[in-house]
């Protein structure tokens, strides 16, 4: 049996679908230049793919057809040589519609394999955000933000070719820089893109993540029931009525916390979460009414606390809130748990208010899909500059 | 709920009803409508297509006359029609619906999910061709289109059996062990539009036979909070299919129970629920078929018997669940078997009809396997004639004598 190469691309559904597809296609085409057969396919994508929901694309390449067929016999590879993450908020874990649970971003990376990510964060921060692994692996950061390249009319920001250049560097057996550049030229007829790939190749630095380094939490998972254990008729239990909330300071119970599906929780689905300044809240109920996922718990004193086990980060609450800076959507990489903001505010009012002020300061207005309004106009030139400089 | 009153113009004055029964001259469609009345169906949806529309017309009449009390909803399409009753059934209503030919096919999206949702809908299919422009004669391909999906399918051949089977269908479908939909197939025109004298049982007996529909743990109601039909992807689908398969496996036993109770309460005997044998005790060869073609087949068999030809007939009632072992046991007694399909399965093994393919499959595990001939006959409402039956019988005899190759032959075709 020959050598099998597997690469996965983890992306945010819809927004990065074409970006992921372009990368996985180019991997196969570049390897083919060196006589290796391969296939490229999507997983957890297509029709049920939703805005922002994590999904995957794969490229499987082999030294010969028989080995490739053996690699294809399993739809989704058990391990990969290279994992590519095109949105660093996914470092908290991948939570697709299909596997129901939280999958560590580095789960499929082989021992001493490489995880390539487009991010503006430093490698150590990213490594600590990801779940800990027993074996060491390498982390390679391609400097940049989560790209929309390939989505509808959005301009190419070279994210795809820079990642391809990085792959040639970390896994030269798969394909050489020359093969990838040739593929890029054939595809785009853009010499600048071939140059971007080369710069990424030349300047890539890898960071070795030690065994046990990273988030120590056990990723959330659950057992699927047997057919004899499932309720018949494609029916599932309804969500029961909720309960009162106990104030962590005075111990008084009041308000209302909706009961939620105990199995299907939200973890890495969102790219942003609402930060609530309870001092500014006028108790108008609008966030509670408008939230499509019944995220807001009513506190005993009548405030609205966004419960992070239910929030998918859509930002409707921020949009509908009439008080300036009362609810502010903040990028998910700022947070490390799903803890209650209201409890933090109750326990340490001044500390919490100071944290809110720091957290939301200078944060631009968000827009659907993008992190903030004007991101596209601002970032494409920035990314192209980064691409030219490497 | 009004007493069971049969409109006077439909009464055959000459026929004397048995005790507790009334006799009425009604069509197969009207017999089904009367069964709906007797079963006190809660929600009926309707959208017209020939020949099924005769049911909805009669239900509308029963409602208008105050003899029946149900929600009667005229939908804007067959698709909506089946969707409405599906939801009504989920909240605990006994429902009835039906269609014919391409109307049934237009509802296909709703029909596919109904078994998985374990909706005990009873539907009537007025069998109709699919749908070479204007063709509304009988062909069984419409109902057969759902044969793989978890629908129970039964064919009847006279209005009395239509009425009785509709009551049995509710009893079986709404049994908690089953909770699967059931379609009663009535041959277009030959049964849907032919009037016969039908004994209409008393409401008391029907009530004794047919308990109220109890959706139990699957009832969609604020007091039983459940979500029905959430997204079911690859992680759930096989388990859902297996559950539906288990229900279909249980259905056969429930059908037996229902027929035994039917006989006990109504005094009308159907024998083996799954198929009916005619003059098979001493038969050399048999014909097998479904629906109203039984009539010319029986008559032709009697004629042939006078000539010393020992031909028998097996009329399949329940196509789903298919009583494979019992049928194989019965058919392996004969020297040859001819299956008459009022349907087609183009490109199937031996280019047969659907029933012939199923019969061959059922016979495969038997130690004794008679030759099986397939006949395509009576498509699009073409009459199955006595000479047709004789011709088919002769071919089966030839096969029994080893003189013809088993295969498929078209009978009554201009050639």
Q: Per residue, what are the HEC states of B95-148? A: EEEEECHHHHHHCHHHHHHHHHCCCCCEEEEEECCCCCCCCCCCCCHHHHCCCC
Count the Cβ atoms, other than its own, within 10 Å of residue B302: 12
Give me the CATH code for the A243-262+272-360 domain, please.
Answer: 3.30.70
> Is there a contact between A197 and A184 (Cβ–Cβ < 8 Å)?
yes
This model's pTM is above 0.90 = no
User: Across the A/B interface, how many CB contacts are shorter than 8 Å?
Assistant: 61
List CB contacts (< 8 A) between B238 and chain A: 227
Kindly report the backbone phi and psi dihedral angles of residue A142, in degrees, each rounded to the nearest multiple of 5, phi listed first.
Answer: -95, 115
DSSP 8-state symbol, A346: H
> Is there a contact between A116 and A88 (Cβ–Cβ < 8 Å)?
no
Give the pLDDT of residue A156: 82
CATH 3.30.450.40 fits A4-222, yes or no: no
> Is there a contact between A93 and A268 (Cβ–Cβ < 8 Å)?
yes
Beta strands in B255-352 (DSSP E): 275-278, 285-289, 311-316, 318-320, 336-341
Report the percent of chain A where pLDDT is more than 70: 94
List CB contacts (< 8 A) between A240 and chain B: 225
> Is there a contact between B133 and B195 (Cβ–Cβ < 8 Å)?
no
Give the ranges where A253-348 is alpha helix by DSSP (H): 286-290, 316-320, 341-347
Q: What is the longest distance spanned by two Cα atoms in chain B? A: 68
For the residues A83-111, what does the mean pLDDT come to?
Answer: 87
**A46, pLDDT greater than 70:** no
Asked if the Cβ–Cβ distance from B179 to A48 is below 8 Å, we say no
Q: With bands split at pLDDT 50, 70 and 90, how would you rate the model's confidence at A370? A: low
pLDDT tens-place string over residues A318-355: 999 999 999 999 888 788 888 999 999 999 999 999 99
Give the pLDDT of residue A99: 62
Which of A232, A238, A240 lies nearest to residue B218, judging by beta carbons? A232
What ipTM is given for this predicted complex?
A: 0.86
Q: Round to whole Å and give the CA distance between B46 and B72.
A: 8
- Indicate which of A233, A241, A242, A261 best probes the interface with B, i.e. most B CBs within 10 Å of its own CB: A233
**Domain extents in chain A:** 4-222, 243-262+272-360
List CB contacts (< 8 A) between B242 and chain A: 227
**Domain extents in chain B:** 8-266, 275-411
> Is there a contact between B334 and B287 (Cβ–Cβ < 8 Å)?
no
Asked if the Cβ–Cβ distance from A236 to B240 is below 8 Å, we say no
- Domains B8-266 and B275-411 fall in the same CATH topology: yes
Nearest-CA residue of chain B relative to A224? B235
**A40, pLDDT greater than 50:** yes
List CB contacts (< 8 A) between B119 and chain A: 233
Round the CA-based radius of gyration of chain A to a whole number and report it: 23
Among chain A, residues having any CB pair with chain B shorter than 8 Å are 48, 97-100, 224-227, 230-240
| Token pair in block for residue A50 | 């939703």
Asked if the Cβ–Cβ distance from A234 to B240 is below 8 Å, we say yes
DSSP strand pairing (A304-306 vs A296-298): antiparallel
Q: Compute CA distances A325 → A310, A359, A361, B199, B270, whole Å.
A: 22, 11, 10, 77, 77
Asked if the Cβ–Cβ distance from B227 to A100 is below 8 Å, we say no
**A235, pLDDT greater than 90:** yes
pLDDT tens-place string over residues A141-169: 999 888 888 777 677 889 999 999 999 99
Give the pLDDT of residue B18: 58
Which of B226, B234, B238 lies nearest to residue A237, judging by beta carbons? B226
Q: CATH for B275-411, among 3.30.428.10, 1.10.10.410, 3.40.50.920, 3.40.50.10190?
A: 3.40.50.920
Nearest-CA residue of chain B relative to A97? B233
List CB contacts (< 8 A) between A103 and chain B: none
Q: Compute CA distances B234 → B238, B264, B326, whole Å.
A: 7, 46, 36
Map residue B90 onto helix, strand or coil.
helix
Fold of the domain spanning B8-266: Rossmann fold (3.40.50)
Which of A227, A239, A240 lies nearest to residue B243, judging by beta carbons? A227
pLDDT averaged over 10-residue windows placed end to end, chain B, 415 residues: 38 52 94 97 96 94 95 96 97 97 96 97 97 89 97 97 98 98 96 95 96 96 91 87 98 98 96 97 98 97 97 98 98 97 96 97 96 96 96 96 86 95
List CB contacts (< 8 A) between A237 and chain B: 225-227
């Amino acid at each position: 049996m020959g050598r099998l190469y597997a690469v996965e691309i983890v992306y945010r559904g819809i927004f990065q679908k074409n970006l992921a597809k372009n990368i996985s296609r180019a991997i196969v085409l570049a390897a083919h230049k060196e006589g290796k057969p391969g296939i490229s396919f999507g997983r957890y994508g297509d029709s049920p793919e939703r805005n922002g929901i994590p999904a995957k694309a794969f490229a499987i390449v082999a030294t010969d057809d028989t080995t490739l067929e053996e690699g294809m016999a399993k739809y989704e590879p058990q391990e990969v040589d290279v994992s590519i993450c095109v949105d660093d908020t996914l470092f908290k874990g991948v939570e697709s519609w299909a596997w129901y649970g939280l999958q560590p971003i580095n789960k499929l990376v082989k021992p001493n394999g490489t995880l390539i990510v487009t991010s503006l964060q430093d490698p150590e921060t990213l490594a600590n955000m990801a779940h800990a692994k027993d074996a060491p692996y390498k982390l390679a950061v391609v400097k940049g933000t989560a790209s929309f390249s390939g989505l509808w009319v959005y301009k190419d920001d070279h994210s795809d070719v820079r990642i391809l250049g990085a792959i040639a560097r970390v896994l030269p057996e798969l394909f050489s820089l020359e093969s990838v550049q040739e593929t890029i030229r054939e595809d785009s007829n853009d010499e600048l893109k071939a140059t971007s790939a080369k710069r990424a190749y030349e300047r890539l630095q890898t960071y070795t993540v030690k065994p046990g380094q990273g988030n120590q939490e056990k990723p959330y998972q659950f057992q699927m029931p047997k057919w004899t254990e499932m309720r018949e008729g494609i029916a599932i239990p309804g969500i029961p009525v909720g309960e009162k909330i106990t104030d962590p300071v005075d111990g008084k119970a009041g308000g209302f916390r909706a009961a939620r599906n105990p199995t299907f929780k939200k973890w890495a689905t969102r790219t942003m979460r609402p930060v609530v300044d309870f001092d500014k809240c006028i108790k108008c109920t609008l966030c509670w009414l408008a939230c499509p996922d019944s995220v807001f718990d009513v506190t005993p004193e009548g405030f609205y606390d966004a419960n992070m086990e239910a929030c998918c980060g859509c930002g409707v609450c921020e949009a509908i809130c009439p008080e300036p800076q009362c609810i502010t959507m903040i990028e998910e990489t700022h947070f490390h748990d799903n803890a209650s903001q209201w409890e933090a505010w109750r326990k340490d009012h001044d500390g919490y208010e100071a944290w809110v002020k720091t957290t939301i300061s200078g944060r631009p207005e968000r827009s659907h899909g993008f992190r903030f309004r004007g991101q596209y106009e601002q970032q494409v030139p920035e990314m192209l500059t980064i691409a030219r400089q490497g | 709920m009004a007493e069971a009153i049969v409109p006077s113009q439909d009464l055959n004055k000459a026929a004397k009803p048995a005790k507790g029964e009334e006799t009425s001259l009604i069509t197969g469609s009207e017999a089904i409508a009367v069964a709906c009345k007797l079963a006190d169906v809660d929600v009926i949806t309707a959208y017209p297509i020939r020949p099924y529309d005769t049911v909805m017309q009669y239900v509308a009449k029963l409602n208008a006359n105050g003899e029946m009390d149900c929600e009667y909803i005229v939908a804007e399409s067959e698709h909506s029609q089946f969707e409405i009753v599906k939801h009504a059934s989920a909240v605990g209503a006994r429902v009835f619906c039906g269609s014919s030919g391409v109307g049934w096919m237009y509802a296909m999206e709703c029909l596919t999910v109904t078994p998985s949702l374990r909706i005990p809908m009873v539907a009537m299919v007025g069998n109709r061709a699919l749908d070479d422009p204007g063709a509304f004669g009988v062909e069984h391909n419409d109902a057969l289109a759902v044969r793989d999906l978890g629908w129970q399918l039964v064919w009847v051949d006279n209005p009395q059996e239509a009425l009785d089977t509709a009551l049995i269908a509710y009893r079986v479908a709404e049994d908690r062990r089953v909770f699967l939909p059931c379609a009663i197939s009535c041959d277009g025109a030959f049964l849907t539009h032919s009037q016969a004298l039908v004994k209409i049982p008393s409401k008391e007996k029907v009530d004794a036979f047919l308990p109220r529909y109890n959706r139990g743990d699957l009832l969609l109601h604020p007091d039983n909070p459940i979500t029905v039909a959430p997204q079911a992807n690859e992680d759930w689908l096989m388990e859902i299919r297996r559950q539906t398969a288990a229900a279909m496996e249980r259905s056969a036993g429930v059908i037996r129970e229902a027929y035994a109770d039917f006989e006990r309460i109504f005094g009308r005997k159907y024998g083996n629920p799954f198929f009916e044998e005619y003059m098979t005790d001493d038969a050399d060869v048999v014909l097998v078929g479904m629906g109203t073609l039984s009539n010319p087949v029986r008559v032709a068999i009697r004629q042939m018997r006078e000539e010393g030809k020992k031909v028998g007939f097996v009329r399949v009632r329940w196509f789903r669940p298919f009583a494979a072992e019992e049928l194989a046991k019965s058919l392996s007694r004969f020297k040859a078997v001819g299956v008459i399909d009022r349907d087609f399965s183009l490109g199937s093994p031996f280019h047969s009809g659907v029933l012939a393919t199923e019969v061959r499959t059922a016979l495969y595990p038997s130690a004794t396997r008679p030759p099986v001939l397939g006949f395509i006959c009576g498509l699009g409402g073409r009459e199955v004639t006595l000479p047709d039956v004789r011709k088919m019988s002769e071919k089966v005899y030839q096969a029994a004598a080893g003189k013809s190759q088993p295969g498929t032959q078209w009978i009554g075709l201009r050639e």
